[in-house]
Structures are given as structure tokens and as C-alpha cells.
Amino acid sequence: MKDKVVLITGGTSGIGKACALAFGEAGAKVVISGRDSAKLQTTAHELVQKKITCRAVQSDVSNEADAQKLVYETVQEFGRLDILINNAGISMRALFQDLDLGVIKQVMDINFYGTVYITKYALPYVLTSKGSIIGISSIAGYRGLPGRTGYSASKFAMQGFLEALRTEVMHRGVHVMVACPGFTASNIRNTALNAQGNVQGESPRAEEKMMTAEEVAIRILKATQKRQREIIMTTQGKLTVFLNKWLPGLTDKLVYNVMAKEKDSPFK
């Protein structure tokens, strides 16, 4: 990773921030983006304190012009781009029948189109460096989760996009990877949108029992170095993907029961 340039969207908290620290401590130069200027500066200060060369760029990945500007500023600052980590994301939690359709659009704009926009403008530079494009997805990208229709749709779309792109560039030296952490302790459930598009505000799951963002980042770093095509983390995640392929009817029941046990579950 020494002197590699890594661009991380949604780099101010959770998995994005942990990746900035992990890749930076491995020797990379790091560019982080986010919508909140104050959080950006706080995270950038933490990186500098650890002697990581970094640049913070305020950006909304769901805006194509912002995405183009983010890539441009990265290359202007460091002269190259080796690794793109599409991490920016948002979740939602509500039954589809109750859901304002604007919520699905907002989730798709950030999770899917944000990945498409950034990747579009980053690809020429990653082709030159024969680097990596990484999508931080979810088990929801392999198995639709009830109560999270918009989130699942966005992750399925991201994975289909990256799989197609991987095949397009397979003879051009570019590494494309999908990383699926499973349930990870982060703020994504706290900031998830409810049926009306308002922030949920409180996680419905026991965050303290989940894999930490730091653990996830280390696994992503190692998988990037090995140029793996995908990484599915947690035993629960691997089992869900396996069962959904071979016993989909049983998986419907198991997934429903797990999600119905969440605090304030919409199924009750």
C-alpha cells in the first residue's frame, strides 16, 4: 500500500473511517469524502495525528457533479488514483406498503447511483494504475431483507453493476471486489430512514454484539492486497448466502423470524 492513493466515500465514520485508518497506516495516501464538513475535518485531524497523508473533500456522492469534482480533486492533489472504496451509504426500515417511495429513491441515489457516478469518473485513473474498485455491500445484496426493500434493492443493484464492470475490465488489470460485512457496529442503523423518510435515530439491534468497523476494515485491506473478487464476513452472513441459494423457502422463514425479533419491528 505504500504511496498508493485511496479514495473512500463516506469516510467520516463507521467502516469508511476505519478503512481510512487501516489503509493509511499501511502506507497509503487517503482521500475521504462526506457531506458533513465538521465531521470531515475531525476525521482528517485524526488521520494527520497518526501521520497519515490525507485530504478531506466535502461531497455528496448522489450528485454527479460532486462525484466528478471529488475524483478531480483527488488526482489534482496526488497525481493518481489507485483504489476506490465505494462506502457511502444509507439504510431504511419500514414495510413497503407503508413506505413513501421517495425513501427508496433517496437510498438508491446514494447507495447505487453514488457508486455509479464515482466509479465512472475514477475508472480511467484506476485503469492506468491497474488498481482496485471496491464496493461495500451487504448480505442484503445477496438476500432481500424484509423491512428493508429499498436498501436490499440498492445493494443488489450495486453488486450487479460491479459484477458486470469486473467482467468488462477483466483483461485490463483492474481488480473489482464486493465486500459484504454482515451486521457491523456502525451508525448506519441509527441514521436509517423510516417510512416517512425521517432518521430512525436508534438502532434496533444489539450493536455491542456485532463485528467492529475496525475488524471489517482490516479484512477489506487484506482482501484488497490479495485482489479477491468478493469477501463475505461473519458466519451468519456466509450461512445466509448458502441457504438462500440451496434452500430459499427455508431461508424466507429464517430471515423473517430474525428480522421480526428486532426492537420495534414493523412486523409486530
Active-site amino acid positions: 151
Strand segments, DSSP code E, in 109-168 are: 132-136
Do 171 and 212 form a contact (C-beta atoms < 8 A)?
no
Mention every residue, 6+ apart, whose C-beta is less than 8 A from residue 141: 152, 155, 156, 158, 159, 178, 180
Q: Which amino acid is at 20?
A: A
Q: Which residue in the block uniquely carries the three cell numbers 447507495?
A: 111
Joined together, the cell numbers standing for residue 154 give: 440498492
Is 1 strand, coil or helix? Answer: coil
User: What's the CA gap between 1 and 22, in Å, rounded?
Assistant: 10
User: What's the CA gap between 178 and 56, in Å, rounded?
Assistant: 24
**How many residues make up the chain in this entry?**
268
Do 266 and 94 form a contact (C-beta atoms < 8 A)?
yes
User: What's the CA gap between 187 and 90, in Å, rounded?
Assistant: 10
The secondary structure element, H or E, covering residue 262 is none
Q: How far is CA 102 from CA 9, 114, 158, 194, in A?
A: 23, 16, 19, 11
User: What's the CA gap between 72 and 68, in Å, rounded?
Assistant: 6
User: What's the CA gap between 80 and 132, in Å, rounded?
Assistant: 13
